[in-house]
Structure 1
């Protein structure tokens, strides 16, 4: 069998981050939102280096024979060079956007971001006072003589390398960005003009006085370190304890990227390379400032609302809003919520009502990424206080959220909940809530099945769907998934849900095979597949096979897309778009023509090998016709987007999906449609 043609995963990811950069370039995007997209780009790239580049570098160290045995066919050295070239090109664009677009636009808006060389007299006085009152107590400079041992540089920490008079004399100073804001407003003598500066420049200005000696130069540096915990393949011991121990280790991983001010003298750079044991591949030249993710907090001292997106306050769901109680409402009909367009408050309300309902006996929930202040967990704690049985499955391996998840797990355990942590070697990524209530001599199951996390904060930013149902076909099978998680069964026997790692792959393959049969029989055949990432070679091969058989396949992929869009015999039936806009597209929606009886599924799972084979995921059908039509309408809007959709093409250069005619911006159109129409669920 011929090898499946694929776009390299990491190259596709860099193409996705380019789409984020495009939003920062787009002059129709309000200025402060463009600044936010620069911050997102920077934050994304940092994680990419800490995780993906770290993995490639690990592969590079393996012998070719070992890589082959592990089925690691990638050529890491070649790919790392390609990554470096693409990132360098993107970073040049990033710098150009900031210098030639953002700074001038800020000045037009009356906001001037200046460095220490431009401080006026009053601003110099302010910088001195602010430094010695606020900054000085947080600083701990280390003066290094030629034979000194160099300090360990923390992951993502911002430092100054300070060139001092005298041969080989250097100082290292960490900027206290964890304690103080990165940006500070300065006094202004010009009416209507606001001056801002970096914390970096306040420190620069005061360095000679602070160190009490001349400073030849101060150059910003930043180290990104390997963030992968490498625990997925461990099958023994207390996994939770391993993760607790590993959290600190994450910050002492090997360097994967060393950003430095390109004005730094070669001799000083050579010293850093030697002392920090860096390779030439670690060194990434940059500008005067690093850590652009701090621009998430860039202040707007003006009152100009047009510098930000227009507010889109979450809408009410009329049926749930008018219901006196949610469980009786759901006993009669299903409901669907679309975040962030609609209020998330109904989910904590549902849990709180269940906690207070004397006939509710049990609540079970999966928690993957929990908000630092969680109304969902508060509701579970209330349920425990009221004598309910509460079981929480907490994914302790949710990358970068391990600490928060473990904290809430401990709090729930203290209150008497049954808390189950990760399986060794497998993540639980599904988003489920089960409420069991005693009704008329029987137990009734109510379920929440979602595409996104139980997280109030991200529900204001991530586009997700949540199905609330008492349909026994779905709710009782959610009970089976919890039986699996509680190790009461080895494998769920679900007729309606697809459950990874058991039936999701085979279920999706069967659905595509059915479309192929329809196409070969001369009937209309199609699939519309929306997901965050498409990476699994076998599923991509099935898409190719379907397209060659005449099945029309439309893909909406936010991030990684390893499918090659223009293969011979495939391209005419394959369309791939990606939408990047003010909200993060996070929902997974799978639609199959099914010979005219369309089938629609929602899921927590992408078509990545890990989602299909190494995670517990749930794919659930939408049986309610009204809800199916509602989600289908939203997908139609996304397929028609000619404003924020990009075409995924072979060149990976993200041309916009212009189709002519009336402009359609799917996220705005979805919000407006939900605001004006009669929501599903009203009688």
Structure 2
């Protein structure tokens, strides 16, 4: 028995118990970069991960670094969880990122480009081209590029021009016949392809190339004489700017939220302050200092690179027709129960609803098909004459969304359709505005959520007339209603017609669309209403079971763990004897393995071909196991500033399936990384090639065999 006399609890606000959120995110992106360097990963997949690394960094600077810089400028002493001031955070970020960025660019230049060339993919430098190739690109420049270029002089009569966010630019120094030097800025047009393909007749190599091209900025740089006739081009160097792109909408002062978001989007491209300057390492210090002075930057804001700036553009090469350099194609399979439904002699709209009435249905994407499950359910509901109402939340969806088309069909078929479109979904605001307007035009009731809160929950409610009663069918998911990301992200969705969940979801939609201030729900855990409190209750229950000397266990899967109250509760549970396994893909501020504090807590992260996005929470509960899924990570923003929904899984067979998924993930030794007490991650390695256990591969195999 564990002693009932408990020592005084530590002060869980002490920085020693936490990792920095920002540095933890950088550790995650380092794991992404590792996939770009892992020889076990197919070559074009490695190129994809290199591009994702760059894209992730762009967003990190536009949002996270920009926010910390605002705190520094406003002289806000808001400490990070690990006790750093905003200025100290910026210094730590720079110190951590500089070698990581150098590592990435060096790897792309020295490893990936030569390996691509060995497979017939030649991303060439202009200076290495022969005369015929350069002559062709000179003509291409004159016909396609030159007309859209606008060189901008910088002198007393021409102020330093505005540099748009994420744009590629050339800093050009020219000399007049009188010997006077002048500085000019030239923007590389983003409307043209980043990599310009050479014609087949000029692709001469010992082996037949699959693709051969040149970065557009090099074509511009080697033909500057056309832009500055009569002047000597002395120097030309590439640079790229990242600006603050986080929207600052005063929702409580906006008469029309949609218009307010549109105005902020116009500002995003041009108005945000510069937070990062990327330059080619060959840029002389004099030019670098000029750019820094004009944009109000310090040395810590400058990131010199050896290769291509804007590495996210490498994604354009990933789709080349070289299947042997990619992961084996994966086509999601239909859920076994749905497959039998589609193959049955009778395939009517009622069958789908009857299947859900018979038993709850759990779908696991991308292993099981989104289109034949969630999408098909909505499409059938849109056509079913007995369906009266459809309500759903849209946080992100695809550009050619069959989800939006189904909602339009439902409205045109006379059903009452209400959709909450979250206009503040970061970097999807413009798309969501378009969907909102398209839906409104056909009579869909469109709302934009609650002031001060993002609606992040993934909910669908279908109300159907069945005889003399109304029945509610519900989908509660962990991922967006987006057919494209459903093939790339691992997510879960529960389809059910349980009365208590249907009533809860109805009341939550009333809170989202009307003036309801619902506080109590039968089953749902809802943020910001009761989610944190209920999670704390569940953790504390395991703690008390352990203190009573009985087996206690917690297993959770999420994208990020930041919330101090929940971290403190996990520490207390560990101290009491609860065995805790946390599967946290990205940011984790909890420190595992601290003697007497978290030595019963293990944290792993899985980074593989699919983005781990599902959230599962398991509590042993003295044998009466509780399992939950939902949209919320354990972060203050999710628990306090977003509308989230987490549902218990009452079907015991489905609960066992979720436990099996957790067990498979915990046993991974191919893509799993273990978080160490010092904040670093150590990748697991199988004892032998025959002992490899890749969770994502196992789940694909299981789906295929089902």
Q: TM-score range by the shorter chain?
A: over 0.9
Alignment-derived partner of residue 668 in structure 1: 697
Deviation, structure 1 residue 102: 0.7
Mapped to 1, the partners of 2:207 and 2:658 lie a distance apart of 47
> What is the aligned partner in structure 2 of residue 447 from structure 1?
474
2:246 matched to which residue of 1? Answer: 228
Select the residue among 185, 190, 193 that pairs with 1:177: 190
**SS of match in other structure, 2:536:** helix
In the other structure, the counterpart of 2:30 is 18
Equivalence for 1:380: 407
- How far, CA to CA, are the matches of 1:532 and 1:514 in structure 2? 24
Task: Sort the Cα spacing of 1:663 and 1:183 in 2 relative to 1 into closer, same or farther, 3 A.
Answer: farther
After TM superposition, give the deviation of residue 19 of structure 1 in Å. 0.6
CA RMSD of aligned residues (A): 2.0
1:554 aligns with 2:573: no
Distance 1:304 1:282 in 2: 38
Which residue is equivalent to 2:290? Answer: 271
Q: 1:97 aligns to what?
A: 107
Native 8 Å contact 1:355 1:380 kept in 2: yes
Tell me the secondary structure at the aligned position of residue 223 of structure 2. helix
Q: Is the contact between residue 19 and residue 679 of structure 2 (CA under 8 Å) also seen in structure 1?
A: no
* Deviation at residue 148 of structure 1 after TM alignment: 2.2
Corresponding residue pairs, total: 674
C-alpha distance 178-635 of structure 1, shift in aligned 2 (>3 A):
farther
What is the DSSP-based 3-state SS (H/G/I as helix, E as strand, rest coil) of the residue aligned with 1:311? coil
- Greater shift, 227-236 or 107-116, is seen at 227-236
| 1:96-128 deviations in Å (ceiling 9; x for gaps) | 211222122112213232211101122112212
In the other structure, the counterpart of 1:681 is none
Q: Is the 8 A contact 1:231 1:425 kept in 2?
A: no
Report the equivalent of 1:307.
325
Rate the CA distance shift 1:436–1:300 in 2: closer, same or farther, 3 A: closer
Deviation (angstroms), 1:61 = 1.9
Rounded to whole Å, the distance in 1 between the matches of 2:55 and 2:215 is 18
Is contact 1:67-1:73 (8 Å) kept? no
2:390 to 342, 346, 363: 363
Q: Report the more deviating stretch, 133-142 or 366-375.
A: 133-142
Alpha-carbon separation, structure 1, partners of 2:249 and 2:227: 45
Match of 1:56 in 2: 68
TM-score by length of 2: 0.92
For 1:564, what is the secondary structure of its paired residue? Answer: coil
Structure 1 residues 534-683: aligned runs within 5 Å: 534-658=561-685, 660=687, 662-677=691-706
SS of the residue aligned with 1:515? Answer: helix
Match of 2:39 among 27, 34, 37: 27
2:58 corresponds in structure 1 to 46
Q: Does 1:436 align with 2:463?
A: yes
State the match for 1:198 in structure 2.
Answer: 215
Deviation at 1:487, TM superposition (A): 2.2
Give the corresponding residue for 1:249.
Answer: 267
> Secondary structure of the equivalent of 1:438?
strand
* 8 Å CA contact retained: 1:163, 1:169: yes
The Cα shift of 1:49 comes to 0.8
* Residue of structure 1 aligned with 2:122, choices 78, 97, 112: 112
Give the conservation status (yes or no) of the 8 Å contact 2:45–2:318: no
What is the CA distance between 1:604 and its match in structure 2? 0.1
Cα displacement (A) at 1:236: 5.5
* 1:297 aligned onto 2:316: yes
> Which one is further off, 230-239 or 389-398?
230-239
1:495-523 deviations in whole A, cap 9, x for unaligned?
21111111111111111111111111111
In the TM superposition, residue 191 of structure 1 has moved relative to its aligned partner by 4.2
* 1:325-474 mapped onto 2 (5 Å cutoff): 325=349, 326-345=352-371, 346-474=373-501
Which residue is 2:225 aligned to? 208
1:146 to partner: Cα distance: 5.6
Aligned-partner Cα distance in 1 for 2:549–2:247: 51
Distance 1:103 1:179, change over 3 A: closer
How many Å separate the matches in 2 of 1:221 and 1:52?
22
Query: Is the 8 Å Cα contact of residues 184 and 198 (structure 1) preserved in structure 2?
Result: no
Residue 473 of structure 1 and its aligned partner are, at CA, apart by 2.4
Q: Secondary structure at the match of 2:474?
A: strand
Change (3 A) 1:164 1:25: same
Aligned to 2:5: none
CA distance in 2, matches of 1:411, 1:521: 58
> TM-score by structure 1 length?
0.95
**Residues 267-289 of structure 1 deviation map (CA, whole Å, 9 limit, x = unaligned):** 22222223333333322222342
Cα 1:364/1:579, change in 2 over 3 Å = same
> After superposition, where does 1:64-143 map in structure 2 within 5 Å?
67=78, 74-143=84-153
What secondary structure is seen at the aligned counterpart in 2 of 1:655?
strand
Deviation at 1:418, TM superposition (A): 1.1
Report if aligned partners of 2:449, 2:512 keep a CA contact under 8 Å in 1: no
Give SS of 2:247's match: coil
1:213-233, CA deviations, whole angstroms, 9 ceiling, x for partnerless residues? 432222111110011113377
Q: Is residue 481–residue 492 contact of structure 1 (8 Å, CA) maintained in 2?
A: no
Deviations 1:339-397 (A, max 9, x none): 11121113222122111111111000001112121100100000110110000011111
Structure 1, unaligned runs of 5 or more: 678-683
Asked if the contact 2:670/2:685 (under 8 Å) is kept, the reply is yes
Change (3 A) 1:656 1:315: same
Deviation at 1:656, TM superposition (A): 0.7
Rounded to whole Å, the distance in 1 between the matches of 2:599 and 2:26 is 26
Q: Distance in 1 between matches of 2:580 and 2:522?
A: 26
Distance 2:250 2:620 in 1: 37
Shift of 1:72: 12
- Inter-CA distance 290–558: structure 2 relative to 1 (3 Å threshold): same
TM-superposed deviation, 1:139: 1.7
**Structure 2, unpaired ranges of 5+:** 1-9, 342-346
1:193 Cα deviation after fit? 4.1
CA distance in 2, matches of 1:256, 1:230: 16
Deviates further, 443-452 or 341-350:
341-350
Cα distance in 2 for partners of 1:601, 1:117 equals 59
1:528 to 555, 559, 568: 555
Deviates more, 1:651-660 or 1:626-635: 651-660
